[in-house]
């Protein structure tokens, strides 16, 4: 396993990051099996684990904490996130100081640790001043509860504003962004990745398999079906085969499967290796639900895609293009119907 610097920090993380979204009620309900998968990933050289409070309503964090107990915690760069609703109370969500300070304590308790290496704001909140969010995160860093701070699926304008605010107000700087990125979801190539590179930020891309589209699970001629897992049911517009944009994803996945076969690799390996090839990417987050999934994904870290394969990928899905905009993960409130109607 190779390691890369996380942005301009002195921390080195593995090219593959173990995403823990599928551990718990959303995926693998057996805690012992989830722990075995985590230990196998660590034994393979992965030193980076990413989870979030919202994953299975905190259960994922509990499982990760169990897996790292007994001496493994010190060798792992542990990341978690906050922002998503954790209850009916309107104050149990978002990017306010009140919620961040409260929720980091909950995550620390569930993870069974005294500190989180990378604490990320899971989504941008247009209604909360970035300085308020950065102020709370800065205090957590100075208190030793958090080592570094990052964000996930933020628009470019917010990324720039946060960097400016940190510099002008003397706040902790966000050191990385976690965006969706795959062969089918290339929108960040146009502006987000160049912006992150200019600020020297790390990039922890998620969903390199496009939520399963690049595993071979979805095939041409298959009947439209409801997503299997609770996590997928939350994202039905990305998987409903009756939608034309998802049919286009299906067609691209078929072409990519043929390309992978000709290149002598699996579609899974092709997809992950593509993400890792981009010079702006620090680490690709994989989210296995089973041991078989993990074993099929680990070899991708050692694959270097030749130029002719990359050229063919660009023909199938052009650079900077996301086939289904829903896969971008964030929609500006300015595009919602209420914001586009006259008063």
> At residue 261, does pLDDT exceed 50?
yes
pLDDT confidence of residue 333: 86
pLDDT confidence of residue 343: 60
pLDDT confidence of residue 85: 97
> At residue 238, does pLDDT exceed 90?
no
pLDDT confidence of residue 318: 97
With b for 16 or more beta-carbon neighbours within 10 A and e for fewer, the 311-325 pattern comes to ebbeebbeeeebbbe
Reported as a pLDDT band with limits 50, 70 and 90, residue 227 is very low
Mean pLDDT, residues 131-137 taken together: 98
Mean pLDDT, residues 93-117 taken together: 98
Q: Compute CA distances 164 → 2, 87, 134, 172, 247, whole Å.
A: 32, 32, 11, 11, 41
pLDDT confidence of residue 222: 54
> At residue 224, does pLDDT exceed 50?
no
49 phi and psi angles, rounded to 5 deg? -125, 135
Q: Compute CA distances 52 → 60, 80, 107, 153, 271, whole Å.
A: 7, 5, 8, 14, 24
pLDDT confidence of residue 75: 96
Hey, what are 179's tokens? 């965006």
Residue among 3, 55, 148, 206 flagged as catalytic = 55
Q: What is the pLDDT of residues 11-25, one digit of tens each?
A: 999 999 999 999 999
Q: Compute CA distances 154 → 141, 183, 309, whole Å.
A: 21, 20, 30
Name the one residue in this structure whose structure tokens are 């929108």: 187
- In the chain, the DSSP E strands lie at 3-5, 12-14, 16-19, 48-50, 77-82, 116-121, 146-152, 174-178, 202-205, 283-286
Reported as a pLDDT band with limits 50, 70 and 90, residue 277 is very high
Q: What is the pLDDT of residues 166-214, one digit of tens each?
A: 999 999 999 999 999 999 999 999 999 999 999 999 999 999 999 999 9
Mean pLDDT rounded to a whole number for the chain: 94
Q: For the whole model, what pTM was predicted?
A: 0.93
Hey, what are 325's tokens? 């905009």
Mean pLDDT, residues 44-68 taken together: 98
pLDDT confidence of residue 340: 82
pLDDT confidence of residue 225: 47
Residue 55 catalytic? Answer: yes
Reported as a pLDDT band with limits 50, 70 and 90, residue 229 is low
Q: What is the pLDDT of residues 61-91, one digit of tens each?
A: 999 999 999 899 999 999 999 999 999 999 9
> At residue 27, does pLDDT exceed 50?
yes
> At residue 267, does pLDDT exceed 80?
yes
């Amino acid at each position: 396993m190779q390691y890369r610097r996380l942005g301009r920090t002195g921390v080195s993380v593995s090219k593959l990051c173990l995403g823990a979204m599928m551990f718990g009620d959303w995926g693998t309900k057996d805690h012992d099996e989830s722990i075995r998968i985590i230990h196998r990933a660590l034994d393979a050289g992965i030193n980076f684990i990413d989870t979030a409070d919202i994953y299975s309503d905190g259960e994922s964090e509990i499982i990760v904490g169990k897996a790292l107990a007994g001496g493994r915690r010190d060798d792992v760069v542990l990341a978690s996130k906050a922002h998503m609703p954790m209850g009916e109370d309107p104050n149990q969500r978002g990017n306010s100081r009140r919620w961040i300070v409260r929720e980091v304590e909950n995550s620390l308790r569930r993870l069974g640790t005294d500190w989180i290496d990378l604490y990320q704001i899971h989504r941008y909140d247009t209604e909360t001043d970035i300085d308020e969010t950065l102020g709370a995160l800065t205090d957590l860093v100075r208190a030793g509860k958090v080592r570094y701070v990052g964000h996930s699926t933020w628009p470019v304008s917010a990324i720039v504003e946060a960097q400016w605010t940190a510099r002008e107000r003397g706040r902790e700087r966000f050191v990385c962004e976690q965006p969706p990125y795959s062969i089918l979801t290339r929108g960040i190539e146009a502006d987000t990745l160049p912006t992150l590179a200019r600020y020297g930020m790390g990039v922890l891309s998620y969903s390199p398999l496009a939520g399963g589209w690049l595993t071979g699970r979805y095939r041409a001629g298959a009947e439209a079906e409801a997503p299997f897992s609770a996590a997928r049911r939350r994202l039905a517009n990305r998987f409903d085969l009756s939608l034309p944009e998802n049919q286009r994803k299906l067609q691209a996945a078929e072409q990519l499967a043929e390309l992978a076969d000709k290149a002598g690799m699996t579609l899974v390996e092709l997809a992950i290796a593509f993400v890792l090839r981009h010079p702006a990417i620090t680490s690709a987050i994989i989210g296995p639900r089973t041991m078989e999934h993990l074993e099929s994904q680990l070899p991708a870290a050692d694959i270097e895609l030749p130029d002719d394969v990359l050229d063919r990928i660009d023909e199938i899905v052009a650079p900077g293009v996301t086939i289904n905009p829903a896969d971008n993960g964030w929609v500006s409130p300015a595009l919602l119907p209420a914001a586009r109607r006259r008063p």
